[in-house]
Amino acid sequence: MNSSPWPARSAGLLLRDPRPEDADTLVALRNNPVVNRFMLRTSVDPDVYAQEWASIPDSDIDYSCIADLDGRVAGLGFFDVVDGLGQPGMPQGTQGVIGYMLQPDLAGRGLGTDLVRGLLTAAFDVLRLRRVTASCNADNIASARVLEKNGMRREQHGVEDSWHADLCWVDGYQYAMLDRERATTRTVR
């Protein structure tokens, strides 16, 4: 069983573990066409998705969370601990992959920035990871801005590197941050 970094506050958001009563809201958010505009998998099976979220509290690598705003599910944060490229002797579980979704009616309020900040805090300060990555669709200017506002550096612009069910081939951005870079950006802010 994992040692969850949640609950934790990030500005006005409470980042917390998922609960069974969140299932319908999570499925509705994930299958919302406005949200799916920038998701490669444009819909999910409700039962499978609810089960995936229900299993998170028992996972040793999945630290995904609910972004709660005054008792409302405002969004969700994806957070997996992963291994690197597998060179012999490489330490295990030192890297993380993050992502997020927000309720469309809450866009433009800084909540994405707060959510990503909370994920990075958990990754570096609680779980002591060395490196965290995040990806977004290159057309998702708001998401790229959120990652950059949190000090993540763009490492790659993949031209037509991902298949989108509705849009065909799309460009993607890959962002990353090292623990030592986060320490620097924290002192600069």
Domain-located, residue 163? yes
First to last CA, the chain: 35
Q: Is residue 1 domain-resident? A: no
The answer as to whether 2 is a domain residue is no
Identify which of 12, 29, 120 has the alpha carbon closest to the alpha carbon of residue 70.
12
- CB of 17 within 8 A of CB of 57? yes
Position 32 in a domain: yes
What are the DSSP E strand ranges found in 32-167?
A: 65-69, 72-82, 95-102, 131-137, 153-164
Cβ contact 162:176 at 8 Å? no
3-state secondary structure of 43: coil
Q: For residue 94, is it within any domain?
A: yes
How is the beta sheet containing 153-164 ordered, strand by strand?
A: 8-10, 13-16, 65-69, 72-82, 95-102, 131-137, 168-178, 153-164
Residue 41 in tokens: 């998998």
* Structural domain includes residue 3: no
| Region of residue 50 (phi > 0: left; psi between -120 and 50: alpha; otherwise: beta) | alpha
Encode pLDDT of 80-124 as tens digits.
999 876 677 777 889 999 999 999 999 999 999 999 999 999 999
State how many domains the chain has: 1
Residue 156 resides in a domain:
yes
Instruction: Count Cα neighbours of 168 within 13 Å in the Cβ-side half-sphere.
Output: 0
pLDDT of residue 186: 58
| CB within 8 Å of 155: residues ≥ 6 apart | 133, 174, 175, 176
Position 62 scores a pLDDT of: 95
Q: What is the CATH number of the domain that holds 87?
A: 3.40.630.30
Range of the domain at 75: 8-188
pLDDT score at 91: 79
Please report whether residue 147 resides in a domain. Answer: yes
* Segments of the chain with pLDDT less than 50: 1, 187-189
pLDDT at 1: 39
Distance CA 132, CA 123 (A): 7
Q: What three-state secondary structure class fits 27?
A: helix
Give the rounded percent of residues in the chain with a pLDDT score beyond 70.
Answer: 94
Torsion of CA 156, 142, 39, 185, to 10 degrees: 50
Residue 187, pLDDT score? 44
